[in-house]
Amino acid sequence: MSNTTANIMEAIMPTYNRFPIRLSKGKGTSVWDENGEHYLDFTSGIATCNLGHVNEYVKQKVESQLSELWHCSNLYEIPTQEQLAEKLVEHTFGDQVFFCNSGAEANEAAIKLARSYAQTVKQSDAHEIVTFTSSFHGRTMATLSATGQEKIQNGFAPLVPGFRHLPYNDFAALEDVVSDKTCAVLLELVQGEGGVIPADKEWVKALEEICKDQNILFMIDEVQTGIGRTGSLFAYEVYGLKPDVISVAKGLGNGIPIGAIIATKEAAKGFRPGAHGSTFGGNPIATTAGLATLTFIEERSIFEQVQKKSEYLLTQLKQVQESGTAIKAVRGLGLLIGVELNGNAIDTVVALQEKQILTLIAGPNVLRILPPLTVTTEEIDQFIEGLKSVI
């Protein structure tokens, strides 16, 4: 790193352990650094550029909107926001949408909605939200309090009260879900940051039934699993669930910041004018990107492609697992895949970078693989060959 670069980096708060790679260009599954070095990107900006970097269709729509209007207040009607909300309602369980800017803000909105629904609609003093160990719901004070990982919470005491963490995929723990204080349950159907752990289908169905029987909101964090990542628009469809609220972000704008919660009409009664808001949420640029992303997915049979590519990638990974002792387990859903290693995952990430392949970790010994949904079989083969060479 040059002295100039080092001085620039000193101006940035040290909240990230950054790799010494300075990306300057991207297209599809490829990214290039400022020296023109090419990398195969199997991170998708952490499940965000689901349609690949600088998707041409999304780019054209956003460029067109850039010449018209960038921002206006939510005190006025925003046509692209209305159109995106209608499309999300059309393709989901939901009836109404609230827009924000990120996954953490979406989960924050879900938390507020759950408490407000209990207290203003049900006229109850219930406020507690049940979440699960190893979960990740964001970095705001409420969402890190909801998160079931001490490493995320360290240094930020006192945490926001009103969250209770139960063991994930634990049938015995279901007996402790509901108390007289409980207003909602919030969970991920695949714990991404927590090690790429899919929910057991029977367990999560039993959890849903408890929520319905006890009249508490069943909320699913689809920030990482949404927008085609699991082979359906949202993971709750794969599991055959009927949530009351889901949170959405990451892939919805294909790299343009946007978040949302989608709720049933009943659950949405928890919000009224003035109860919640967002300056930038649902602005014309973000909602144009969201509309373009969903339209692209609709018109190109993306879900079927994800299912086929996922099956192919998982098969290839399991063959690598069977050929040696480096891989302990392979798991995931769609193109959200975890490879549990018999060793430190960060070492493998760095070794793959030397082979011009970008990946992530999900805990100390899990390699997280998140290629764009548009990844080709040839690119999957290239990744597999790189993985073989480093393990």
Quick: pLDDT tens for 379-388: 999 999 999 9
* pLDDT value of position 10: 85
The whole-angstrom separation of Cα 24 and Cα 153 is 33
Q: What is the DSSP string of 249-314?
A: -GGGGTTS--EEEEE-TTGGGG--TTS---SSTT-HHHHHHHHHHHHHHHHTTHHHHHHHHHHHHH
The whole-angstrom separation of Cα 179 and Cα 259 is 31
Band the pLDDT of 314: cuts 50, 70, 90.
very high
319 touches 176 (CB < 8 A) = no
Question: Is 4 a residue whose pLDDT tops 70?
Answer: no
**Hey, what are 14's tokens?**
């040290």
**Hey, what are 76's tokens?**
């006025």
* pLDDT value of position 166: 98
* pLDDT value of position 6: 55
Question: Is 5 a residue whose pLDDT tops 70?
Answer: no
247 touches 106 (CB < 8 A) = yes
- Written as one letter, the residue type at 163 is F
Give the angle subtended at the CA of 144 by the CAs of 106 and 204, to the nearest 5°.
70
Question: Is 194 a residue whose pLDDT tops 80?
Answer: yes
Q: Which of 246, 252, 262, 160 is nearest to 208 (CA)?
A: 246
**Average pLDDT estimate for 240-260:** 98
**Average pLDDT estimate for 46-70:** 98
Question: Is 8 a residue whose pLDDT tops 90?
Answer: no
The whole-angstrom separation of Cα 147 and Cα 334 is 24
Fold of the CATH domain 69-299? Aspartate Aminotransferase; domain 2 (3.40.640)
* pLDDT value of position 2: 52
Question: Is 9 a residue whose pLDDT tops 80?
Answer: no
The whole-angstrom separation of Cα 221 and Cα 187 is 6
Name the one residue in this structure whose structure tokens are 């995952």. 345
So where are the chain's domains?
Answer: 3-55+301-390, 69-299
**Average pLDDT estimate for 289-316:** 97
Q: Average pLDDT, whole number, for the chain?
A: 96
341 touches 326 (CB < 8 A) = yes
Fold of the CATH domain 3-55+301-390? Aspartate Aminotransferase, domain 1 (3.90.1150)
Q: Which of 85, 196, 76, 179 is nearest to 128 (CA)?
A: 179
pLDDT tens sequence across 60-92: 999 999 999 999 999 999 999 999 999 999 999
Band the pLDDT of 25: cuts 50, 70, 90.
very high
Q: Is 215 left (phi over 0), alpha (psi -120 to 50) or beta?
A: left
Give the angle subtended at the CA of 151 by the CAs of 147 and 153, to the nearest 5°.
55
| Cis-peptide into 158, omega within 30 deg | yes
pLDDT tens sequence across 338-391: 999 999 999 999 999 999 999 999 999 999 999 999 999 999 999 999 999 999
